[in-house]
A and B are shown apart, each in its own frame.
Chain A
Amino acid sequence: MKTVERFIAGVDKLSSLLKVMPRFDAPSTMDSWFASVVRVTQDNCVFTPEKLPVMAPPAPELASTLLVGDELYEEDLEPPSPNLWLRPALICAASFVGALLLGVLVQSVRGSSSPEPVSRFSAAATAPVAKVATPIETEPLAPPEAPSAAAAPPTTEAPPAAAAPPAAAAPTRAAAVPAPATEGAAAAQANMETQSSAPSEAASSVRRERNAGSAKLASEYTYPIVAQQWTRVTADLSELKPTIAAKSTQTRHNRWFLLTGSTRSPEIRELASRMRGVLPDEAELSVLYQVPDIPKDYARLIPPQ
């Protein structure tokens, strides 16, 4: 056998020298990186209804404070859950009870001199709460710089006009009320401050605040859809895009899309059925999904463990 043949077969001295050369060792950080990758990939691959609430981003707790007379009522709005369709009914009931109490209180304060009938005020307060019809503005997604940016929900804000309180406020009441934690709470507090002087206006403010809260909750009811599982449906999604992409947002990386639409729309429901998720009957839904390409620097998106 010629030397070159022995070299190719790996049995000559030159090839034996090559085999004993020191090898390059992969850095140890690569192992932990890979562990993160497979963990995240696995998490995103398994997409079951049970996992849906876990994958959905946690919504900030909205606490609205109702000050009626000298009593303080607090109601916590829970984070969005799959049975979101119950919320309008609950809001209606809460509005009714609150308005009824308010009306009775106001009438007792004013005594017989007040010509305002309770029934009229109650009727105003118990008018059907507008479903989440407020348009949700979608902001361009932040570029995926931070690890959580890949799975974080898009920032959608409720229209500020819906929750903005009137400028006038009663200073004496404000001192007795704790500082609000959120904008919704601030709006509710401001609403309550105006209630003592204008009950019917206050009721509508409460209603507006409720609607704003619902809209905000619905906007945060977001499915983060990432990675491989969704690359299989995005081909079909391209057909859906023209119809529901009125508010779609494309990042400068051209890889993430945000679709926003009503859960009544057949496209969104079709999407949900593919996700095997449960959608509320009435809500605005934002869907974040990824196009098939893996981001170039996807490795840097893996959150540190």
Chain B
Amino acid sequence: MNTPAHTPALAALPDKDLMALITQGNVTGSATELYRRHNRALFNFVSWSCQGRSFEAEEICQKVWLKVAHCSEYQPAASFNTYLYQIARDLLADMHSDAYDPLADAGQEPNPPDDDLTAEVEADLRINLHRVRRAFMELPILLREAAALRFFCDLSLEEIAAATGAGFDTAKSRLRSAFAYLRCNLGRV
């Protein structure tokens, strides 16, 4: 990575301490460490949210990191992950305001079967991962972002709720809906 030199002392600090350093003017090492930790997951989240348009994802990620690097006030009320994805989500929502309408995912939710995928279907999907990808991309944006935060960014339900500005139950409901869509779409060979 062509970023400034890695500092072992900073690598041991938690995210909120690194953010505190940034607000005090120690930008280079702290921001680099945060970038090193979170950029891959952030880029994935934004890319999934942008339907894989990498140019758009890169632009949004750059704006996110600019906000982080120029942050002068940081209140660690929640985890840094939440703060980071909240910025990204706000930018995405600005860009695609119509898609982020809360009523957008209020359509008819399919009824998924209550059993897990069969071994045959799972083996087939592992060979044809593009089917999984396509099904994931077809999810409504609010469901897709919840699932992306859960499975590609390893956020907990509480963090997803905080990052998306929704309640805990809403976040859980979105994951349930995402499961229903995916299960119905991928349940057949």
Contact = CB atoms under 8 A, between A and B. Distances in A.
Nearest to A47: B25
Contacts of B180: 4
Contact of B66 (A6, A13, A298): A298
B151 A45 contact: no
A38 B126 contact: no
B92 interface: no
A32 B2 contact: yes
Contacts of B152: 18, 23
Interface in A30-53: 30-35, 37-39, 41-42, 45-46
Interface in A86-140: none
A4 B112 contact: yes
B176 to A, nearest CB: 5
Contact of A15 (B4, B112, B115, B151): B151
Contacts of B39: 26, 30, 34
Contacts of A20: 126, 129
Contact of B136 (A4, A18, A27): A18
A27 B62 CA distance: 12
Given A8-B150, A31-B2, A294-B67, A14 B186 contact: yes
A151 to B, nearest CB: 16
Contact of B179 (A14, A19, A28, A37): A14
B151 A42 contact: no
A34 B70 CA distance: 12
A232 B72 contact: yes
Given A8-B157, A8-B175, A8-B176, A14 B183 contact: yes
A3 B117 CA distance: 10
Interface in B159-189: 172, 175-176, 179-180, 182-183, 186
B81 interface: no
Contact of B3 (A34, A45, A227): A34
Interface in A258-301: 294, 298-299
A236 to B, nearest CB: 15
Interface of B, helix, strand, loop or mixed by DSSP: helix
B83 interface: no
Interface size class of A (residues with CB under 8 A): 35 or more
Given A20-B129, A22-B129, A294-B70, A35 B62 contact: no
Contacts of A13: 116-117, 122
Given A6-B116, A15-B151, A42-B28, A24 B69 contact: no
Given A17-B129, A30-B58, A231-B72, A45 B117 contact: no
A30 B61 contact: yes
B27 A42 contact: yes
Contact of B52 (A24, A35, A299): A24
B80 interface: no
12 contacts: A2-B114, A3-B179, A4-B179, A14-B183, A23-B40, A25-B43, A28-B2, A34-B39, A34-B65, A42-B25, A294-B70, A299-B63
Interface of A: 2-4, 6-8, 10, 12-15, 17-28, 30-35, 37-39, 41-42, 45-46, 227-229, 231-232, 294, 298-299
